[in-house]
Amino acid sequence: MKKILLVCAAGMSTSMLVKRMIEHATTVNIEVDINAFAIAEAKGKIKNNEADVILLGPQVRFQKSEIEAVAQGKIPVAVIDMKDYGAMNGKSVLDFAMKLLEE
């Protein structure tokens, strides 16, 4: 099971997106573990290898290089598209995460 880690400023704004991503994953029979955390807590999860892909909310995109440093090139890190994030488009964000996992 692949683990997708969403990161935002406080971990709250991504909770709805996580719910929609899980709903879509269930619909298309993709087994994933998706969680959202505030940036500080996410760093610990990354250090403990608790993610296969890391997606940053647009509001923390400026911290991408910092998260990449913690991931040490072992885990893909990307910023969620602002339109998909604003629309809480779980399908599109899940598809984006799965594409990153294939690379």
Give, rounded to a whole angstrom, the gap between the first and last alpha carbons of the chain: 17
**Would you state the pLDDT for residue 103?**
82
| 84 tagged catalytic | no
Catalytic residue among 4, 5, 8, 55: 8
Give the position of tokens 């885990």. Answer: 75
Residue 73: other Cβ atoms inside 10 A: 8
pLDDT at 11 (0 to 100): 64
pLDDT value at position 13? 75
Could you give the domains of the chain?
2-102 (3.40.50.2300)
pLDDT values of the chain reduced to their tens digit, one per residue, 103 residues: 999 999 998 867 789 999 999 999 999 999 999 999 999 899 999 999 999 999 999 999 999 999 999 999 999 999 999 999 999 999 999 999 999 999 8
The pLDDT score that the predictor gives to residue 101 is 94
Q: Quote the CA–CA distance of 31 and 34 in Å, as a whole number.
A: 10
List the structure tokens of 78.
């990307």
